[in-house]
Amino acid sequence: MNGRADFREPNAEVPRPIPHIGPDYIPTEEERRVFAECNDESFWFRSVPLAATSMLITQGLISKGILSSHPKYGSIPKLIFACIMGYFAGKLSYVKTCQEKFKNLENSPLGEALRSGQGRRSSPPGHYYQKSKYDSNVSGQSFVTSSAADNIEMLPHYEPIPFSSSMNESAPTGITDHIVQVKVNKYGDTWDE
C-alpha cells in the first residue's frame, strides 16, 4: 500500500473527460454525414413546408384585405418576408432533432459534448450569465454562473419615467411644457409676462 486510500468502488465507471469543442474543432466523417443529413432534412421537411404555408397564409390575408399590398410592388414584399421567416423557423425547429442525432453517435466527440451538456454550460469570454430562479438542474448538473453575475445587483437602479396609457398622447405624464412669452417693443427691449 502506498499510503493513499482508494475510495473507488470496484465496478464503478470512470467518467471520461469532456472533449473541448471550439471553433477550431474538425468534425469526424460520421459527424459530417449527420451535418449534411440534418441540413437536408431541415430544408425539405421543415423549411420548405413552413415557408410555403406562411406565404399562402400571407397571400390569403392580403386577398381578404386584412393585410394591405404595396402600391408599387403589390404583395411581393410581404410574401418574400413570410418566406424568409418560414425558412428560418423551419431551420430553428429542427435543432433539437439534429442534436438528438448527434447524441446518438457512438464515437463522436461532438455527441459526447452534447450528452454531457457542454454546449449549454459554456459561454463566450466576456459574457455573463445570471442564473434565473426558473433554471433547473439538467441531468443533475447545474448551469455555470459567473462571479460578475453575483454582483449584478450593484448596478445603478433607474426609475422609469411614467408614460400615459392613452393611445393619442405621446408625451410622458408629469412633464409640462411651460412656454414663456416674451414681448418686444419697437426699441428691441424684451420682458417676460
Among 43, 56, 57, smallest CA distance to 87 is for: 43
Q: Give the DSSP H or E segment for 33.
A: helix 29-42
- Could you list the pLDDT tens digit for every one of the 193 residues in the chain? 555 555 555 555 555 565 677 888 899 999 999 999 999 999 999 999 999 999 999 999 999 999 999 999 999 999 999 999 999 999 999 999 999 999 999 988 988 988 888 545 444 444 444 444 454 444 444 444 444 444 444 555 666 666 555 555 555 555 555 666 667 777 877 766 6
Beta-strand ranges (E) seen in 2-63 are: none
Q: Among positive and negative, which fits the CA dihedral 16, 18, 24, 26?
A: positive
* Residue 80 cell numbers, joined: 418574400
Q: Give the DSSP H or E segment for 41.
A: helix 29-42
